[in-house]
Amino acid sequence: MTLRLAIVGLGKIARDQHVPSIAKTEGVELTSIASRNASIDGMSHFPDIETLLASDEAVDAVALCTPPQGRHAQAVAALQAGKHVLLEKPPGATVSEMGPLVALAQEKGVTLFATWHSRFAPAVEPARAFLADTDIHSVHVEWKEDVRKWHPGQAWIWEPGGLGVFDPGINALSIVTAILPRPMFLRRSDLQFPENRAAPIAADLEFTDATGLAVRAEFDWRETGGETWSVHVETAKGKLTLSEGGKKLALDGQPMVNEPDAEYAGIYRRFVELTKTGAIDVDLSPLQHVADAFLLGRRHVVDAFVEA
């Protein structure tokens, strides 16, 4: 049976990634849009999820692509109505709000899937398998991009709960937490806040794990010379480098993986699988690390950020 899916929040990520990936995935069909301003020709349109759920539109599942601050109430409404729910990353504005959501999904017997799209990048599983089997000496994460290019006009991203540079940085954290063999935890957090913004534009973090592994992560939104989305791991078997956000993997410069992006196709394949049994897949560790980074963060004030 094909899953009839509504997208809630037809913004940049929904148009760029969700819509084309759903079209390519067997077992799921995009039937409806709930979005204040945007619509797709030939598809049922509703101004918001409440109107959609109150209508007689037949949907089995919703994908929440709205900003994280409002997603909790939308997820509750969808789960209460017995719909499977897919959450864009980050899954919410706080860690604590996720517990009641998981409990509600369990009660209703439907799927709740907190997605981390970067974990579906082609280099991630090979990197995990490689690192499971070798001594790791150190990890260095560089996640640098131009906020003006990648988040044009997204005011919510600078608001509390919008995460600032952790919006891309949490992708790196979702990869690192997936490929390292042991849980890591934060030891130092330095955050750079533009003097006119409520969220950081850069972060410098030091993590470790139970074996004392040094994991350094540098996130920066002021990179105008092209993107760097890389994880470098020094190991007993050589230097493993995951780059281009997980499209490429190399060992001592020798390519191991080099595949086109298929992250959101992977997400929707997994979502279709999960909904067959109403299974729940909610891993909060990337968001937990971000919360810890704010909790332990030392604030540094830097130049104002002006969009235009």
Which residues would be at the binding site for a second copy (CB under 8 A)?
72, 76, 93-97, 99-100, 103-104, 160-161, 182-186, 189, 198, 209-210, 285, 288-292, 294-299
Would you give the distance in Å from CA 79 to the centre of its chain?
21
Q: Supply the minimum distance, in Å, between the C-beta of residue 93 and a second copy.
A: 6
Q: Supply the minimum distance, in Å, between the C-beta of residue 211 and a second copy.
A: 10
Instruction: Give the DSSP H/E element, type plus range, for residue 275.
Output: helix 263-277
Q: Which is nearer to a second copy, 66 or 189 (CB)?
A: 189
Q: Which is nearer to a second copy, 132 or 198 (CB)?
A: 198
Q: Supply the minimum distance, in Å, between the C-beta of residue 159 and a second copy.
A: 8
Number of H helices, E strands in the chain: 10, 16
Q: Supply the minimum distance, in Å, between the C-beta of residue 250 and a second copy.
A: 29
Q: Which is nearer to a second copy, 23 or 155 (CB)?
A: 155
The catalytic residue among 89, 144, 247, 248 is: 89
> Quick one: which of 287, 263, 298, 72 has its CA closest to 170?
287
Q: Supply the minimum distance, in Å, between the C-beta of residue 72 and a second copy.
A: 8
Q: What does residue 63 show for φ and ψ, rounded to 5 degrees?
A: -110, 120
The CA–CA distances, whole Å, from 61 to 5, 274, 288 equal 5, 12, 26
Active-site annotation holds for 89:
yes
Alpha-carbon gap, residue 67 to 161, rounded angstroms: 9
Alpha-carbon gap, residue 39 to 35, rounded angstroms: 7
| Cα Dmax for the chain | 59
CB contact at 8 A, 119 and 264: no
Q: Which is nearer to a second copy, 168 or 245 (CB)?
A: 168
Q: Which is nearer to a second copy, 235 or 288 (CB)?
A: 288
List residues with catalytic annotation.
89
